[in-house]
Amino acid sequence: MAPEQLRYDGQTVVVTGAGGGLGREYAVFFGSRGANVVVNDLGGSFKGEGKGSQAADAVVNTIRSAGGKAVANYDSVENGEAIVKTAIDNFGRIDVLINNAGILRDISFKNMKQQDWDLIMAVHVKGAYKCARAAWPYFRKQKYGRLISTASAAGLFGSFGQCNYSAAKLALVGFTETLAKEGLKYNILCNTIAPIAASRMTETVMPPDVLNSLRPEWVMPLVAVLTHKSCTETGSIFEAGGGHIAKLRWERAKGALMKPDDSLTPDAIAQRWKDVNDFSEPEHPQGPANAMELLEAAAQLPPSSPGEKLNFKDKVVLVTGGGAGLGRAYALQFAKLGAKVVVNDLVNPDTVVQEIQRMGGQAIGNKANVVDGEAVVKGAIDAYGRIDVLINNAGILRDKAFTNMDDNMWDIIHQVHLNGTYACTKAAWPYFLKQKYGRVINTTSTSGIYGNFGQANYASAKCGILGFSRSLALEGKKYNIFVNTIAPNAGTALTRTIMPEEMVQALKPDYVAPLVVLLCSDKAPTPTGGLYECGMGWFAATRWQRTGGHGFPVDVKLTPEAVLEKWEKINDFDDGRADHPHDNASGLKSIMANMQNKSKSKKEKKGNEEILSAIESAKNAKAEGTPFEYDEKDVILYNLGIGAKRTDLPFVYENHDNFQVLPTFGVIPPFNSVSPFSMSDIVPNFSPMMLLHGEQFLEIRKFPIPTGAKLVSYPKLIEVVDKGAAGIIVTGTTTKDANTGEDIFYNESTVFIRGSGGFGGPSKGGNRGPSTAVHKPPQRAPDAVVEEKTTEEQAAIYRLSGDRNPLHIDPEFSKVGGFKVPILHGLCFFGISGKHVLQSFGAFKNIKVRFAGTVLPGQTLKTEMWKTGNTVVFQTKVVETGKLCISGAGAELLGGGSKL
């Protein structure tokens, strides 16, 4: 029996930004299921420019021509009262509000203008607040309301070039969690969705085939379920797109509990870092940890054991809101460890400055408002000429039930907390970039993470700070600028009224400060991107947890009724499929994997869904880029490592007219480059001991190869092939000139992993031309043969070019691998063979080899070469054993010239 259709007869639904994309899909759906629809759209561009009435009118006409009821509204969401008034004037009520309007202003943080920040905040955050605030009295009066806020993966996990957007999107999470708490007793249910859908906003950044699978109709059924009168879900976060729906929640580590006394130091926390991040017995809280319980337990503990003392000598630390409370505690601790401290406080920085000076430390005061970040940071630059550490701590409260909140209460909290954090960080950023060093601590709160009654403004600003931090951490990482976020719990004047005095004393800011100091030091065990709850001598990491969710086949239209049927599975955190997404790639993993989920093929082949999904996700992951710098010395060392003699002057003497890099040097820059995926995620039973380097392809993209350069390598997963008993992983790495951005080398490396097949992947690899070609030697005598004896020291010299695997130097290690003596690196005899091709036939533009056996240092290599057209086909044998060590190899000559 088909499930009963969800209907919305007689209800009024307001959809903002409903002129296209997701909003249009919602509006048309609700219109078709009996609701009165207010179609709001300003009609501007996805960047928030211009306005017009055509977009909204077209959607209204679509709904009406199908027999539905709809009216248009052309106001900006910042004028929420007017949008809600349209609903009341035309239909007499409002039952559902979908805050969907949005714009993009993607730009790297260093190039972001104030307008790029302000406009995103105005539309996403203030707009959502204004519409919700206007609808709230009607919801309360009728004891019924459904509200949806729209976040995004960029907000949940952070995204490069989207600091503004991430901040706004996570601000909506804190905001909505608070509304859920305040609305519950009035039957007002509020949820957040993080959709991935094709729209005017995403079509500029995603390929067409992906966009086709990310149609808005995959998100609409979830929204339909959450806004129906039968729904009981509230305060939840769901992601949806491409036929996949899952639920997210916060997960908190058990954490490290330490005695709250003088032994609680930054170095003591460093020793307990494993406990801070221990998620083996996690909590899934709705609010802050129980301070009373933790405190009582902490007091019973013995003092902590000290570690290596931190030193901040010559570092300049700026603390906002440093005149009292937490800020004061931070300022004092940094000063004690030798830092020069700038105490910023709007009211009175001087008392703390004098306190520091009395104990022999260096400090100055600064009275600027954090909203004027330039003036705050100028204090540090004027006094000390630099800034190394920025602690964004300044804050105020304007607590009020949402129903009584006014715009002033909303604006001032966002100004001080979120915009102040942005402004101070923005002012410090150029100095950080220039000195390639910076540490930022931003302050969120448990009210922000979990929402809190009477703090819709504060929760929104505080959660926004977390979104801002996450994107900023991604942008700062390669410049050695690290960004972390803390949610502190400390005794203040506010808590005195509700706690016994000894509790207030014990909740000292002094017991939060050591974590802040540790995270700003060069000894921070996890340098960047963290979120930590702390106080009372307790420190715990907090992260996302996501259900395995459910993937619906992408070739069948998804309905709300189908979503409802799988509701338990979508919400199940305990079935062993839950994961912990931490970035955009892991965030999109399940959605990208579901694109292959078709109703017909489902029955034919059952693969390992988790591995196949991880492969799709890994293919979409982008590397941050790993720098590699080399000069003439490195070139000579490499050339010697592959057998250049002292008489080969072009290879060993930097002042020779024809001094050059042997072309196979191209395999060196990517050697230690950081891959955006982990091999253990994309094949089952991965063990590095079972890994063999199968094939190598190198293309030289710049001639002549520079004899010194700054390069950056970007590895990418090309494919994973399932050979049944084994898995094959192919990684492609593009190496570029760091200054000009031009390509210098491209490598494809194929590794063979025994025991890692059988996961349901393709059994054959793709054809990518030269990089996948296997060259067969012709049935005739070779055109050229070169023999070269390797030296006993060959592996010892070659390893200095980057491959420090002990298998090539340490006899104990090679014995474990089954070799009597350390063996020669595969890429070393690849280089020797490449040198033979170069010396016999001239320069080549690419070279491809298959590794067929091992070579011991001191053995003799014999390279046999055949010229066929523009390609030299070759193979290399170990003379002493007669066995091949390189087979099926070929090099395509540059310009077709030959030395024969």
Q: Any idea which residues carry the catalytic annotation?
A: 165, 169, 458
Measured between alpha carbons, how far is residue 388 from residues 215, 282, 601, 677 in Å?
Answer: 46, 34, 57, 32
Nearest Cα neighbor of 174 from 182, 164, 163 is 182
Q: How far apart are CA 134 and CA 316, in angstroms?
A: 46
Q: Identify residue 14 by its one-letter amino acid code.
A: V
- Phi and psi dihedrals of 762, rounded to 5? -65, 145
Q: What is the DSSP string of 603-637?
A: HH----HHHHHHHHHHHH-----EEEEE-HHHHHH
- Phi and psi dihedrals of 445, rounded to 5? -160, 160
The answer to whether the beta carbons of residues 363 and 335 sit under 8 Å apart is yes
Element (H, E) at 709: strand 709-722
The answer to whether the beta carbons of residues 127 and 78 sit under 8 Å apart is yes
Q: How far apart are CA 417 and CA 455, in angstroms?
A: 13
At residue 349, the 3 state secondary structure works out as coil
Tokens 């950023």, residue? 429
DSSP state of 417: I
870 Cβ contact partners less than 8 Å away, ≥ 6 residues apart: 892, 893, 896
Tokens 């395509």, residue? 892
Q: Identify the bridge partners of residue 717 per DSSP, sorted by sequence position.
A: 731
Q: How far apart are CA 211 and CA 271, in angstroms?
A: 47
Q: How far apart are CA 857 and CA 792, in angstroms?
A: 5
Q: How far apart are CA 592 and CA 596, in angstroms?
A: 8
**Strands 709-722 and 626-630, sheet pairing:** antiparallel
Q: How far apart are CA 841 and CA 825, in angstroms?
A: 25
CA 281 to chain centre: 25
At residue 258, the 3 state secondary structure works out as coil
Tokens 């008392």, residue? 351
Q: Identify residue 642 by its one-letter amino acid code.
A: I
Nearest Cα neighbor of 745 from 657, 628, 823 is 628
Sign of the CA dihedral running 614, 748, 829, 802: negative
Sign of the CA dihedral running 266, 268, 273, 277: negative
Q: Identify the bridge partners of residue 488 per DSSP, sorted by sequence position.
A: 534
Could you give the angle at the alpha carbon of 673 between the alpha carbons of 667 and 677, nearest 5°?
120
Measured between alpha carbons, how far is residue 303 from residues 261, 300, 330, 505, 643 in Å?
Answer: 7, 9, 21, 18, 60
Q: How far apart are CA 15 and CA 37, in angstroms?
A: 7
Q: What is the DSSP string of 436-450?
A: T-EEEEEE--HHHHH
The torsion defined by the Cα of 174, 178, 179 and 181, in degrees rounded to 10, comes to 140
Element (H, E) at 602: helix 599-604
Proportion of the chain in helix, strand, coil states, percent, rounded to 5:
40, 20, 40
Q: Helix and strand tally (H, E) in the chain?
A: 32, 28
Nearest Cα neighbor of 512 from 339, 333, 320 is 333
The answer to whether the beta carbons of residues 760 and 719 sit under 8 Å apart is no
Q: Give the chain's length.
A: 900
